[in-house]
Structure 1
Amino acid sequence: MPYEKLEITTPTPVLSWANHPLGSEETKMAKNVASLPFVFKHVALMPDVHLGKGALVGSVIATKEAIIPAAVGVDIGCFVGDTLVPLVDGKSYRIQDLAAQGKKFIVYSCTPTGKIVAAQATAKLTRHNTSLVKVILDNREEIICTPDHQFMLRDGTYKEAELLQTGTSLMPFYAQTDKDGYTLIAQPYSGMWQKAHWIIARSGLLGKIPKFEGQRTVIHHRNFQQSDNCPQNLEFMGDCDHSAYHRSLIDRNQHWQFPEFENKRVTSLAQKAQTPEGYQYQYYAERGTRNILQYMQQQPEHFKNAVADNGLRGKQYLIAYNQSDKGKAKSKEIANRYYTCEICGAEVKTPIGLHNHCKKEHQCNHQVVAVIPLNHTEDVYCLTVPEYSNFALKAGVFVHNCGMCAIKTPFTGEQLEGKLKKIRLDIEAAIPTGFNENKDIEKSAANWQRWRDFPDLHPGVQDLQSKAMKQMGSLGGGNHFIEVCFDTENQVWLMLHSGSRNIGNKLAQCHIHTAKELAKMAGNLLPDPDLSYFVAGTPEFRAYWNDLQWAQDYARFNRDVMMARFKHIVEKHLAGGKAVKPLLQVNCHHNYAEKEVHFDEDVYVTRKGAVRAQNEDYGIIPGSMGAKSFIVKGKGNAHSFCSCSHGAGRLLSRNKAKNVYTLDDLIEQTQGVECRKDTGVLDEIPGAYKPIDQVMANQADLVEVVATLKQVVCVKG
């Protein structure tokens, strides 16, 4: 058995993946937690377990109807089973049915800048019989979800359903089918409609987009269903080859001649023939385009001479037509033509009028009409989308799915040669470390939507907003880091580890103090005051949970701001400042709590220095500043409450590391890494941490390794 059941007497067992005996203080801390009456099933200790405050760092604690404010986190909510999710095959499915299938599928996701992409996802049941709210949108759609589920706002940030207000603008998802049957998706960042099969291609799901000499690259639908944009149904072709292929099918009477298709084809052609578009334009435009392209290629000089005076010759006929009764009637008809708004159904005169209507009334997004608490409960479900952490609903909005973050770049290790020190110095100049903060508040930080909720936070932090705004986009100290790494295939990765900075720490301290005071008043005899807790349903619990959500959102956005700066610096040195698309993005929380289903029961799971590792969850397990790091995928081990370690774990305390090791030791142990080599980071020396290879071996039943990384640049506070 990969884990060991510790031989200690407690009401609930303690299972350890550490593969080594605990020290006396560690054993005492494990016993204290396992003795709490609300702990569920058992306590799980990860391979990196070591002493912490109240509870061991590297411990996973499931609790019933109570939570210990020793961890910082946010609950990612979920949707009722009937919620429809559109997939790239052109159909929408109930989220409950997607979970039952247990397979991967492809959804539409959205980047923070409003660009819709395609990404792989999985679905799962997340909670039983939970409370719900109904979110009503201005397109008359209704979404039923848990109060804490996060909706993507128009500016790319997130807000919980229960905090949405009337008029809140959400990131929109608009889809329609054109006259040829192709799916079109409206890109929020530009307002332009884009064919879905090209979104699939440009999301990298078809591999590199090829070029065909003398031809325009097109995408062929293998099953001839233009709405089915599953990658396996799409194939790159040259446009001439594509046309020739379709003609060959007709010539050979293949595919097109089965009765059902033939009936549809004849009916469709008959209907199109009755319209100006179908009769006058469609047929002749396609035939004419083929003929004129052939003519231009075969007789280019003759073509240039033939069209040399086109403008002059056509001008007199165009003027005459416009001044004629027929021309005036046509212009009047076009000017008075009405167009239907796809958002609200309003009839608006002229395309310009429709554009102005959408801009004024809808601001190119969906808005919240109301959020209504419901008086019944249901089982709920959610998706996991590792790359983008959000997905589109059929209702027309994007929602979040359920630390550290890393991105895999298209750069290779050779491109880093001779540039490591410059990259490190630029990072240190652009991203404050330690107790430092930004001199000026960055625009993206100032525009963060959650600042409007700051007055609702604990009174003890109300004088810290200015400091929190200046610290947005800063690293902090301790084991926080920014690293440039490369994997075993020599691909460059960017990785960083940070949290909610001073504001998160202050919020935690305020609530821990409240919990301790409540314990005193109630006469609770706890084995450790740091295990004071809040009971679900109380005002103190609700206030704590609200502040946890805010702090976790702050931490996530803080990492986003830093990663954007970090990525820009690397792009400056390796791509001349040109932005590149990441090949993979991974985000994961640690030191947090979620409400989850384990062993068929709803529990609060606190991961103190641990990472969620459900099936297909991507995670990051970093080593020390001189050792390897790992990108992993969870195996969903039930005994660990679907968790794994968040790093190597300390072997020595910070003070002991400074007493044991010297500056020469630091220099030796960080050979080959461009990093600070001074006494200020001596407590982070690799020797102060457990061997990462052993830690990974101890959790082989919890995760599989996706990529092994070695850092070449490391920035610490």
Structure 2
Amino acid sequence: MPYEKLDLSTPKPVLSWANHALGGQETQMAKNVALLPFVFKHVALMPDVHLGKGALVGSVVATTDAIVPAAIGVDIGCFVGDTLIPLVDGKSYKISDLANLSEEFIIYACTLTNKIVAAKATAKLTKRNASLVNVTLDNGETVICTPDHKFMLRDGAYEEAQNLKAETSLMPFYSKLDRDGYTLISQPYSGRWQKAHWIVARSGLLGKVPSFTGQKTIIHHKNFEESDNRPENLEFMSAREHSAYHRSLVERNQHFQSPEFEQKRLAAIAPARSQSFAKKAQTPEGYKYYAERGTVNILHYMQEQPEHFKQAVANNGKRGKEYLIAYNQSEKGRAKTKEIANRYYLCNICKAEVKSPIGLHNHKKYEHKCNHKVVKVETLNYQEDVYCLTVPEYHNFALKAGVFVHNCGMGAIKTPFTAEQLEGKLKKIRLDIEAEIPVGFNQNKVVEKSVTNWQGWADFRDLHSGVQHLESKAMNQMGSLGGGNHFLEVCLDSEDQVWLMLHSGSRNIGNMLAQNHISTAKELVKLADIRLPDQDLAYFVAGTPEFAAYWHDLQWAQNYARFNRDVMMVRFKRIVEKHLAGGKPTKPLLSVNCHHNYAEKEVHFGENVYVTRKGAVRAREEDYGIIPGSMGAKSFIVKGKGNADSYCSCSHGAGRLMSRNKAKLNFTLDDLIKQTKGVECRKDEGVLDEIPGAYKSIETVMSNQADLVEIVATLKQVVCVKG
């Protein structure tokens, strides 16, 4: 048996993976939860289970039609198989077809600074027979996905599909072909169009961009398909090298380019086709065709024979100046200027006709703010299998529909650095982390722009009235670690590769939201004269205003927590790069992020239920997760096995063996120094309650959940910063 069924004589059983006898208080707490009338099927206890508030930390509880506000968090959903994903090869593919590939492909993603980059990704089937919503955008596109899938908002924050409102601004993805066939991408941070092959190059997928003295660096498309920007199709060349290459192609085919061949070709086609060409050129379509073809030929001529071109146009300005002035002052010229000023242009976002180029610019600026907007979100009455991408570094990807969405679950990052690069630098790294990332009750003295731009602040006034005075504090704390068991760690895996790992949440604002809603739940239970074995198990019933308010605030707090971790990880990574790479940015080899202490609506055993994971991690099949040990012990990167009896869950760490107060009474400073040998960390009484001896053996915990997860990487920390 992978688990033990506890003998508690409760209506719903309790399944335990702890492999040890629970104490009296722990047993009573498990029994209290299993007695709740809305508990679904059974309660699952993870290997790290220990005393908590109301429910055991390390418990997974599925409920129907009610929820206990004991955790804050959010899950990540997925898309139907027909959803189109644009790749850098210039084509768009169904996400279900991408899931059948056995190799990586390259998509477009968006950074924290709203810059579009190219990134490697994989796709997979994530859920069968999932509930769906249909999101309609202002460009007429629709996106069908699970209600919980996150869309990227215009400021880079995320919101679930089911919580999107009409007029909500989303991060846009605009692409088009220029007259030469090159793919152009509009950068959200600037509004400027950038060639996709340079986006691929600047994303580091072609290696270091070379420079050529006195020449431009050119990116050559090997197959001459200008829209195919796969790295294997791109090659750096100098401008002269590129021109010489194209001339060599002409020379290789010189028979077909020779004057003799051209004369014969013209003689053969002139009688029959010259009249046809003339007629075609007189039509709007024909005029456009020949104008574009002529432009391409001229540009090739300018590139291949630059010196001859310079001589040919040397006096163009002088020759044309007098003519241009005379034309502009003529009746015909003034009429043309007036016609251009009153010409209507089509908005590629909402398809509105707007007069003049300036009018179109202002229309996009004020009406769309260079984004897409949500028109409506509708619940669909059918279910489908759904899919998602994994984008290890950026955790988002563009849809053909023109917006960015979050990818499936990803906290820890595997860097390209190795152990030997850390030699002699551990203390300096720790001191820099402590100087730049506030810990404990501390907060940022200066609030950075990415924090003030977070769109979540616009919704702050809609949160519980009990936290309205905390907006300034919440803003100052974003990008800070907090206290307790929160940490920032530099780790090494078994191959001496450097990992960065952090654990933090929604800071004081998340705690205060929880406390306010717990108080409300307790008041409601008291008014309804409902007797509970523990008042901390007070709950909200689905369909009530109180449930809706709690669910809204729950999502906001988890979005805050996610962005808080993102801000910290950017700083953390920058500090390590400063010491190991001279400040040069690097690309993670793998990124993993997982939530614990959260509740979400999921399907288990064929039923829609609310799953609360209190101190537990989701571990569906192929889900990546982090299971950290204590400071001085091992940590693990894992992949889920999708164990149904655990509600697809696993532990979130080793779990406490004793309370903080008991740890301070049982251990000394000498014990702390001994147990954290080899780890660059604080070694004072302020972190004595986090001593490794206060936690369970992480090796035993991992052994007890072998049926829940498989180990992908084993980590040992060398730097630890505690809250």
Q: Shorter chain as normaliser: what TM range? A: 0.7 to 0.9
Say whether the 8 Å CA contact 2:409–2:623 is kept in structure 1.
Answer: no
Aligned residue for 1:364, secondary structure, equals: coil
Distance 1:40 1:100 in 2: 35
Residue matched to 2:189: 189
Give, as a single letter, the amino acid of the residue that structure 1 aligns with 2:45: L
Distance 1:52 1:498 in 2: 18
1:95–1:384 Cα change, 3 Å: closer
Aligned residue for 1:502, secondary structure, equals: helix
Aligned residue for 2:719, secondary structure, equals: strand
Given the two structures, how large is their TM-score scaled by the length of structure 2? Answer: 0.81
How far off its partner does 1:179 sit?
Answer: 4.7
Q: In the alignment, does 2:34 pair up with 1:34?
A: yes
Say whether the 8 Å CA contact 2:619–2:625 is kept in structure 1.
Answer: yes
Aligned residue for 1:560, secondary structure, equals: helix
1:235-634 alignment to 2 at 5 Å? 236=235, 275-277=289-291, 279-283=293-297, 285-286=299-300, 289-290=303-304, 316-319=318-321, 322=324, 340-346=346-352, 355-368=361-374, 370-371=375-376, 376=381, 378=383, 381=386, 383-387=388-392, 388-402=394-408, 405-634=411-640
Count of matched residue positions in the alignment of Structure 1 and Structure 2: 688
1:6–1:212 Cα change, 3 Å: farther
CA deviation string 1:617-666 (max 9, x = no partner): 22222111112222333333333222222112222221222122110111
Give, as a single letter, the amino acid of the residue that structure 2 aligns with 1:188: P
Distance 1:74 1:713 in 2: 30
Say whether the 8 Å CA contact 2:95–2:123 is kept in structure 1.
Answer: no
Say whether the 8 Å CA contact 1:482–1:495 is kept in structure 2.
Answer: yes
CA deviation string 1:223-265 (max 9, x = no partner): x86656667x7465758699589959x98xxxxxxxxxxxxxx
Alignment match of 2:709 (pick from 689, 703, 709) = 703
How far off its partner does 1:591 sit?
Answer: 0.4
1:456–1:82 Cα change, 3 Å: same
- Mark the runs of 5 or more structure 1 residues left unpaired by the alignment: 252-269, 297-302
How far off its partner does 1:103 sit?
Answer: 9.2
Give, as a single letter, the amino acid of the residue that structure 1 aligns with 2:645: H
1:236–1:602 Cα change, 3 Å: farther
Distance 2:624 2:199 in 1: 23
Aligned residue for 2:560, secondary structure, equals: helix
How far off its partner does 1:427 sit?
Answer: 2.1
How far off its partner does 1:316 sit?
Answer: 4.3
How far off its partner does 1:172 sit?
Answer: 0.2
Residue matched to 1:255: none
Residue matched to 1:684: 690
Say whether the 8 Å CA contact 1:68–1:531 is kept in structure 2.
Answer: yes
Residue matched to 1:73: 73
1:646-685 alignment to 2 at 5 Å? 646-685=652-691
Aligned residue for 1:671, secondary structure, equals: coil
1:501–1:213 Cα change, 3 Å: closer
Say whether the 8 Å CA contact 2:409–2:592 is kept in structure 1.
Answer: no
Distance 1:287 1:629 in 2: 61
How far off its partner does 1:670 sit?
Answer: 1.3
Residue matched to 2:700: 694
Give, as a single letter, the amino acid of the residue that structure 2 aligns with 1:159: E
Give, as a single letter, the amino acid of the residue that structure 1 aligns with 2:141: E
1:684–1:124 Cα change, 3 Å: same
Q: In the alignment, does 2:650 pair up with 1:644?
A: yes
Say whether the 8 Å CA contact 1:126–1:597 is kept in structure 2.
Answer: no
Distance 2:338 2:157 in 1: 40
Aligned residue for 1:561, secondary structure, equals: helix
Distance 1:97 1:688 in 2: 49
Distance 1:581 1:659 in 2: 44
CA deviation string 1:275-299 (max 9, x = no partner): 344553434644664466xxx9xxx
Say whether the 8 Å CA contact 1:46–1:610 is kept in structure 2.
Answer: yes
Distance 1:534 1:408 in 2: 41
Distance 1:612 1:549 in 2: 17
Distance 1:615 1:181 in 2: 42
How far off its partner does 1:356 sit?
Answer: 4.8
How far off its partner does 1:498 sit?
Answer: 0.8
Say whether the 8 Å CA contact 2:98–2:122 is kept in structure 1.
Answer: no
1:426–1:403 Cα change, 3 Å: farther
Residue matched to 2:54: 54
Say whether the 8 Å CA contact 1:386–1:586 is kept in structure 2.
Answer: no
Distance 2:659 2:248 in 1: 70
CA deviation string 1:423-475 (max 9, x = no partner): 22222222222222334544433332222322222222233333322322221
How far off its partner does 1:151 sit?
Answer: 2.7
Percent identical pairs in the alignment equals 66
1:631–1:493 Cα change, 3 Å: same
Q: Which moved more, 1:54-63 or 1:273-282?
A: 273-282
Distance 1:88 1:310 in 2: 38
1:221–1:666 Cα change, 3 Å: same
Give, as a single letter, the amino acid of the residue that structure 2 aligns with 1:481: F
Distance 2:209 2:461 in 1: 53
**RMSD of the alignment, in Å?**
4.3
Distance 1:236 1:41 in 2: 59
Q: Which moved more, 1:537-546 or 1:21-30?
A: 21-30
How far off its partner does 1:78 sit?
Answer: 5.5
Q: In the alignment, does 2:22 pair up with 1:22?
A: yes
1:275–1:668 Cα change, 3 Å: same
Distance 1:103 1:573 in 2: 34
Q: Which moved more, 1:46-55 or 1:341-350?
A: 341-350
Aligned residue for 2:54, secondary structure, equals: coil
1:225-244 alignment to 2 at 5 Å? 234=233, 236=235
Give, as a single letter, the amino acid of the residue that structure 1 aligns with 2:463: L
1:81–1:541 Cα change, 3 Å: farther
1:287–1:500 Cα change, 3 Å: same
1:444–1:567 Cα change, 3 Å: same
Give, as a single letter, the amino acid of the residue that structure 1 aligns with 2:626: I
Say whether the 8 Å CA contact 2:26–2:50 is kept in structure 1.
Answer: yes
Distance 1:207 1:631 in 2: 29
1:208-227 alignment to 2 at 5 Å? 208=207, 218=219, 220=221
Residue matched to 2:271: none
Distance 2:525 2:353 in 1: 63
